[in-house]
């Protein structure tokens, strides 16, 4: 059973990697809004979990299915298929490997995968729990805003009842822009997406690209949040917002949405070059994201 799960997970990892590489290419185009790129990151993470999808003649996988993949129809549901890049079995439900060597390899590899993935997930949650416990002493300021001398940068902690925690050194300064930024994270449920992304990466620990995707996803999360805040600011306020980011440049956390959590140079460049989208350009980028989603999320036609 574990061997079969790992077989399909490995296929999902390959397809998810291809989807993630497409997003990496798309993020090179500066004209595409950061929020659009942030939304696109959801697609490879979905593909990293699901090896199956609806068969579609417009799927990107149609381009490579003749040479590197085999599309397997799910029994009783022919419109839903499994993408099979490995092609290491004679039959798939249940899996019957082509030879004993492949069977042995997947049996051993699946056990190693499960042990390391379990250890990575447990370690991540222990680190998160430790961080949360360290912040129990945070002093309440107002609403869901707290201050702590154990932080170097503002951040949002928690998923169900998120709290904005500010470094004690910043509390007496101008924190309006910081709080605006963190409230966007809360509204978008970014901490939940962050945790799911970390778990996904732990599941695919054997795939180096999954760690690359996680790094850029977290960076684009911050850039998308910046873009949302900038929509409400005038030019002078934009400069003040950039100064606030510089003041928090050293902060970095993986389980909380951190105001200083992305590369400062990239964020400043994006802020100073930010231009508000027109209704027409918004519709165009929405259509672009939808088209890419259909291409990435579907499987090759039978």
CB 62 within 8 A of CB 46: no
Q: How is residue 55 annotated by DSSP?
A: B
Answer whether 46's CB lies under 8 Å from 291's CB.
Answer: no
pLDDT digits (tens, 9 = 90+) for 48-72: 988 777 777 767 666 666 655 566 6
pLDDT value of position 203: 95
Give residue 24's pLDDT. 93
Contact (CB, 8 A) for 117 and 87? no
- What tokens were used for 51? 């090896």
- Give SS3 for 88: coil
The band of 205, judged by pLDDT with boundaries at 50, 70 and 90, is very high
Lowest mean pLDDT among 86-95, 120-129, 246-255, 278-287: 246-255
Stretch 151-169: mean pLDDT, rounded? 83
Name the residue with tokens 């068969």.
55
How large is the average pLDDT for residues 172-191?
85
Mean pLDDT confidence for 251-271:
60
Q: What pTM was estimated for this model as a whole?
A: 0.84
Reading the block at residue 6, the tokens are 């790992």
Opening angle at CA 45, ends 42 and 50, nearest 5: 120
State the DSSP code for 71. Answer: E
Average pLDDT of the residues in 191-209: 94
Strands 139-142 and 155-157: unpaired
User: In terms of DSSP H, where are the helices of 167-278?
Assistant: 176-187, 190-203, 208-230, 235-247, 264-272
Distance CA 15, CA 82 (A): 11
Question: What does the pLDDT look like over 102-126, one tens digit per residue?
Answer: 888 888 999 999 999 999 999 988 9
> Mean pLDDT lowest for which of 77-86, 160-169, 280-289?
77-86
Distance of CA 57 to the CA centre of its chain: 27
pLDDT reading at 201 higher than 90: yes
Q: Are 41 and 213 in contact (CB under 8 A)?
A: yes
Q: How confident is the model at residue 283 (pLDDT cuts 50, 70, 90)?
A: confident
């Amino acid at each position: 059973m574990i061997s079969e799960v790992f077989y399909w997970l490995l296929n999902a990892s390959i397809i998810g990697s291809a989807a993630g590489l497409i997003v990496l290419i798309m993020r090179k185009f500066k004209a595409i809004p950061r929020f659009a790129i942030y939304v696109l990151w959801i697609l490879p993470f979905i593909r990293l979990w699901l090896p199956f999808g609806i068969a579609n003649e417009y799927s990107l996988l149609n381009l490579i299915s003749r040479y590197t993949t085999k599309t397997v129809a799910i029994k009783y549901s022919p419109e839903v298929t499994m993408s099979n890049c490995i092609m290491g079995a004679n039959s798939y439900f249940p899996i019957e490997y082509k030879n004993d060597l492949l069977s042995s390899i997947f049996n051993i590899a699946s056990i190693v995968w499960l042990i390391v993935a379990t250890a990575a997930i447990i370690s991540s949650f222990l680190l998160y729990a430790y961080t949360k416990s360290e912040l129990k002493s945070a002093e309440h300021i107002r609403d869901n805003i707290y201050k702590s001398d154990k932080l170097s940068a503002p951040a949002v902690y928690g998923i169900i009842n998120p709290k904005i925690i500010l470094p004690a050194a910043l509390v007496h300064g101008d924190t309006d822009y910081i709080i605006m930024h963190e409230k966007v994270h809360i509204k978008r449920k970014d901490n939940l997406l962050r945790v799911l992304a970390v778990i996904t990466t732990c599941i695919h620990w054997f795939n180096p690209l999954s760690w690359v995707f996680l790094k850029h996803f977290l960076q684009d999360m911050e850039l998308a949040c910046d873009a949302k805040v900038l929509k409400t600011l005038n030019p002078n306020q934009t400069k003040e917002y950039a100064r606030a980011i510089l003041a928090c440049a050293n902060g970095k956390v993986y389980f909380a949405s951190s105001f200083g959590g992305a590369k400062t140079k990239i964020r400043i460049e994006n802020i100073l070059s930010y231009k508000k989208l027109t209704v027409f350009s918004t519709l165009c980028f929405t259509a672009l994201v939808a088209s890419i989603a259909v291409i990435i999320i579907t499987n090759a036609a039978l």
